[in-house]
Structure 1
Amino acid sequence: MCAFSPEEDSMFEKTGAAVFRRLRKTRNPADLLAVVSSAHKEFERAYDTAPAEARAVVACRAGCDACCHVPVGVQAHEVLIVAQHVQTHFSPVELDELIERAASHRAAFAGRSSLERMTMRKPCVLLREGSCSVYDARPEACRSHHSHNAEACRVNLESGREDVDVYIPGVRGRMFAVMLGIDQAVAEAGFDGRAYDFGSALHEALTDALCASRWVRREAAFSESCREAGNEGDDGDSGVMHAEGYFQ
């Protein structure tokens, strides 16, 4: 467990326990993703109750998209929530265009080393005119990230490195506690805890209807080619969430 403050630790425990309890009680497989998706409201609550002085320095605005050009590691449920949103709200033409962009991303991701994957700087396949086209269903990492300096984000993007620390301590820990609580609860309930590259896994989710079925059966939802980039020589366990008995 990371070093949370007592308040952040409480947020992790309460969020995770609630999600775990609801997943265990849900009998209709079609309702499982909705349980996880509904927990995303905890991000808003965590932000709204952050110290006022921390929220006052948040520089993130619509059209500020530097953070939408870096690789995003996600859990399977996040991908499936986005895919469900896309299939409900995108037109057939928009869906076809998205699948094409995701296929290009996946091909580029698969053809690179782990180091090259981690340093990829390409626009997210869901970025539209500088804004997220699935904002209400966006991944947890996107919900959790806040910066105090938009220009520094642009500098980091152009350099390909995080030369300037843009994080806001009074916000970041709270958001991360919620994110970790949700993901740990999903893993505790027996669902896929592997870390995936968002663009690659989204392509597979939109072109293979069995991905969601595998997740419901508590199997690996996506193929190995969609796994998040890890450090060279790691054991393939990088970023994987394991059941550790937190919420039993």
Structure 2
Amino acid sequence: MIALTVFISQRCLSTKKFYQRVILLMNDFFQQTAQAEFQKASQQLPGAKQFQTALTQSFKRYDNLIAKTITESPTKPACQAGCAFCCYYKVEVRAHEMLNIKDYLHKQLSAENIQQIIQEADRNAAVIRSITPEQHLTTNLKCPLLHNNQCSVYPVRPYRCRNFHATDAKACEQSFADPANMDITTGMIETVALAADAHSQGFEAAIEQKGLDARIYDFNTALLEVLADESCLKRYLRGKKTFQTALEVS
């Protein structure tokens, strides 16, 4: 069984009995969604070398799941192309996601563009290493992969980025302008958040079961290391700790 770790709701539930019923229903949905992805991902991971193919297929299933969940929801996300406020958030990443991003960058971008990304990630990393994780949560840092308010690795963006969504665009802008104000709520669609977390955790459980690195890393410092150290992939395929200098998130 995969543990339910998603944030349930910001709404006030009127009675204890109703609250318990909602928890049970959501837990059932979470378990079914996570278990379904775990089983499919496990089948597509006969060995470590298949991790990128398995991740690509998992992303496709995720996109279909989220599209279906949004269609069934009376509330819709306010997110649109060119709205990039969430691209300044603190982002965490898994090793398989970062290795996938590296391959995409080398296939799609020029050496000059990659060097610009490295320089920006290096500036971000210097800030991140000088502050606490709590301070990082309230600090705007532009993602080095953001170009003209568009994600340059959108097809292979990590699950954490895929899971970001909001129902109030104005609140997103307010939060960007005042990142230290944690009372600003951008809203979320609970079923979408639940489905997203369940699916990604199902895939990550399959990775861990195969003995591969399931640690969580800071995005900027992991990006710097994966672009500088060719040994990252070798360590990952051997089930070792992929990143030696990137910040690990506990």
TM-score (norm 2): 0.84
How far the C-alpha of 1:224 sits from its partner, in A, is 4.8
1:128 aligned residue (139, 143, 147): 147
Question: Structure 1, residues 69-118: CA drift from partner, whole Å, max 9, x if none?
Answer: 01101111111111111111111111111111111122221122232233
Give the counterpart letter for 1:196 in structure 2. Answer: Y
Q: Secondary structure at the match of 2:76?
A: coil
Gaps of 5+ in 1: 229-237, 239-248
Q: CA RMSD in A?
A: 1.8
Show the 5 A alignment for 1:12-23. Answer: 12-23=34-45
Count of residue pairs the alignment pairs up? 226
1:192 aligned residue (193, 208, 213): 213
TM-score (norm 1): 0.85
Partner of 2:136: 117
How far the C-alpha of 1:120 sits from its partner, in A, is 2.4
Partner of 2:165: 146
The 8 Å contact of residues 11 and 177 in structure 1, kept in 2 or not, is answered as yes
- 2:90 is the alignment partner of 1:71: yes
Moved over 4 A (4+): none
- Mean alpha-carbon deviation: is it higher for 110-119 or for 195-204? 110-119
Which structure is larger by alpha-carbon Rg, 1 or 2?
Answer: 2
How far the C-alpha of 1:51 sits from its partner, in A, is 5.2
Question: Structure 1, residues 179-219: CA drift from partner, whole Å, max 9, x if none?
Answer: 11111111111111211111110111011111111111111
Give the counterpart letter for 1:153 in structure 2. Answer: C
Partner of 1:103: 122
Gaps of 5+ in 2: 5-22
Partner of 2:200: 179
- For residues 105 and 227 of structure 1, what CA distance do their matches in structure 2 show? 16
Give the counterpart letter for 2:33 in structure 1. Answer: M
Give the counterpart letter for 2:87 in structure 1. Answer: C
After superposition, the Cα gap between the structure-2 partners of 1:55 and 1:87, relative to the gap in structure 1 and judged at 3 Å, is: farther
Give the counterpart letter for 1:211 in structure 2. Answer: C
Partner of 1:84: 103
- For residues 206 and 57 of structure 2, what CA distance do their matches in structure 1 show? 14
Partner of 2:7: none
After superposition, the Cα gap between the structure-2 partners of 1:142 and 1:175, relative to the gap in structure 1 and judged at 3 Å, is: same
After superposition, the Cα gap between the structure-2 partners of 1:55 and 1:108, relative to the gap in structure 1 and judged at 3 Å, is: farther
